[in-house]
Amino acid sequence: MAIARARLVRPSPVDAARWQRRNAGEGRFAALTLAVITALVVAAWGVWRFVGDAVAESVTSDGPQVRVGVVGDSTHVRVIAYGAFDLMSSAGRTVFTCAGPNVLRFSAVGGQAGTFYYYVVVTEFDKRKKPEARRLLGQLRDVLKVGMEILEVSDRLALPRDRAALRDCLLVAIGPFDDLKLADQWNRYLSQTYRSYIVKDTSKRASGEIQLFDHSDRLLARMKDSLSIRLKDDKQLLSVEPLQSPAAGWSLLKRTSPRYRGTLEIRLNDRGRLTAINTLPLEEYIKGVVPSEIGGQSPYESLKAQAIAARSEAYHKLGLEHHINDLYDFCGKVHCQNYLGVEEQTVASVRSVEETRGQVLVYGDQVIDAVYCHSCGGVSADSRDVWKSGNYPFYQAVYDRRFWRSSNLSSERSTDAWLSSRPDVFCNPDQRGFPDYAKKYFRWTRRMEGAALQRAVADAQNVGQVLNLEVVERAESGRVRVLRVVGSKGSVRFTGSEKICALFNNLPSSFFVLSVENDAAAPHAVKSVTIRGGGFGHGVGMCQMGAYMMAKRGYLCADILAHYYPKTTIRKIY
């Protein structure tokens, strides 16, 4: 079969010239078009980078928003606004606008407490994997022998902050529990194997309404569950405090509470009463913590160390079940961190926060819970000495000296000898420049009469006549872990720093030795007990007075943090 060949037709010289001119023109047009497109892309990229960076800076430069409970539970609260503000409903609607400073009263009326239950979530499944969720539920129910359910994520479940973004999920959970302590015990057990956490079922919320009154007791508005006060000028301030009763003249009472920046929320809590919450960026919160904790006049490098430690602790605790029964992330007390708004702030304390903006302490890839105490008494405590804790290398029982050395004060004799001495440690108040107000905490003595001790023990358990006190277990840091009270009808053990200190009318710390005096008339009864101790606080992490004196001696912020949190590094997270 013959194959037809294509015939090549050569263009004439005139056609060739026309073709070259046309292609040259199209080439110039294409090159110009490409150049224009490239310029536009580059310009758009530049604008995107500029705007993106600006937006990112506006959103993240001050850290996440935090909610601080500044009034925990009250029927009436008074708010003083020092500038113009908007009062917003829970739906975001402006109830009214005030053009200047004002004094207002909020009251909870007809409040009824809600009923709440707790679940311990073992794991999560996508809604499309319901068979797998049911299979795991059956397996766990057979092993754990406890009630379990599959929950759907909804508004009725109060999720931890780090799980708040969950949508369309099934939760395999143990419960319900009506006792948070029992739920917490299960959570601790399960967390050894699973990434478990606690959720609260808020199906039956508290009922009532919030009524708003002006300074002349004129009713201005009624709201169902919450409202917020937003200042028009972010440099202006608010204060809020509980009122015992709305007696005449409440608006003229002298202010006793701190002043705050940010937004103020007034909410109906689980008990049908009022909770006031200061909502503000993390960096603004830290500005209120640093001077409240270590003092605004402290040496600058210790202020910076305090800022990084406080920011680390707050960032670590966000999303945890730290205040699961409350409407806020942190309280303003020592339970979380002392927070007094703008009251104690100084130029140096504010600058220390701004200079360390976004810096936290990390171990590996995790931000640590960088707790701290006022004074360690010369020996820091292992976190396991004070509360249930893992074995963390940055929390160890060591002497507060330039070159750390592990302590062993687990015997009565060694602790007694240490507390009878004034060793060369950073928090020793015998140094020049040590603050006078803190000197009384390095070494202290308390005395408790037998009758007072008898009442304190009876509040926990009736053991009859108190005959003796015995330290059953003492940690290597010298802290008392277990104390036994022997009575005529039996004995009782007190375990944990908080309970032990509370027994003796709230001792400064659990780092102490006891001297018992028996009654001469009744030789077997305790007449009095003398407690000699050292330090103020739990003793874990940074010793604030040690940090203060390290800065006085010329140590830098990084040196201080490396000393008190060994094997950690400073990292900027925003």
User: Is residue 481, in this structure, part of any structural domain at all?
Assistant: yes
- Complete DSSP assignment for 350-379: HHHHHHTTTEEEEETTEE----EESB-TTB
pLDDT tens, 489-503?
Answer: 999 999 989 999 999
- Residue 322 has a pLDDT of 67
pLDDT tens, 363-421?
Answer: 999 999 999 999 999 999 999 988 877 889 999 899 999 888 888 999 999 999 999 99
What residues contact 110, with CB distance under 8 A and at least 6 apart? 207, 208, 209, 272
- Give 32's pLDDT tier (boundaries 50, 70, 90): very low
Q: Average model confidence (pLDDT) for the chain?
A: 86
Mean pLDDT along residues 454-464: 91
- Residue 407 has a pLDDT of 87
Which of 533, 548, 567 terminates a domain? The answer is 533
Show the domain range for 161: 115-204
pLDDT tens, 57-74?
Answer: 333 589 999 999 999 899
pLDDT tens, 228-256?
Answer: 999 999 889 999 999 988 888 899 999 99
Phi-psi region of 63 (alpha: psi -120 to 50; beta: other; left: phi over 0): left
Structural domain count of the chain: 2
pLDDT of 75 strictly over 80:
yes
User: Is residue 97, in this structure, part of any structural domain at all?
Assistant: no
Which token pair is 371? Answer: 């707790």
- Residue 163 has a pLDDT of 77
Residue-level length of the chain: 574
Angle between helices 557-564 and 544-552 (to 10 degrees): 140
- Give 319's pLDDT tier (boundaries 50, 70, 90): low
- Residue 264 has a pLDDT of 95
Q: How far is CA 89 from the centre of its chain?
A: 27
% of the chain beyond a pLDDT of 70: 88
- Residue 420 has a pLDDT of 96
Helices (H), 105-179: 130-144
What residues contact 207, with CB distance under 8 A and at least 6 apart? 110, 111, 112, 114, 272
User: Is residue 516, in this structure, part of any structural domain at all?
Assistant: yes
Place of tokens 């005096």: 517
pTM, whole model, 2 decimals? 0.80
User: Is residue 468, in this structure, part of any structural domain at all?
Assistant: yes
User: Is residue 159, in this structure, part of any structural domain at all?
Assistant: yes
Which of 188, 204, 220 terminates a domain? The answer is 204
- Give 289's pLDDT tier (boundaries 50, 70, 90): very high
- Residue 193 has a pLDDT of 86
SS3 state at 92: coil
User: Is residue 3, in this structure, part of any structural domain at all?
Assistant: no
- Give 510's pLDDT tier (boundaries 50, 70, 90): very high
User: Is residue 510, in this structure, part of any structural domain at all?
Assistant: yes
User: Is residue 28, in this structure, part of any structural domain at all?
Assistant: no
pLDDT tens, 224-235?
Answer: 888 999 999 988
pLDDT of 257 strictly over 60:
yes
CATH number of the domain bearing residue 141: 3.30.70.1070
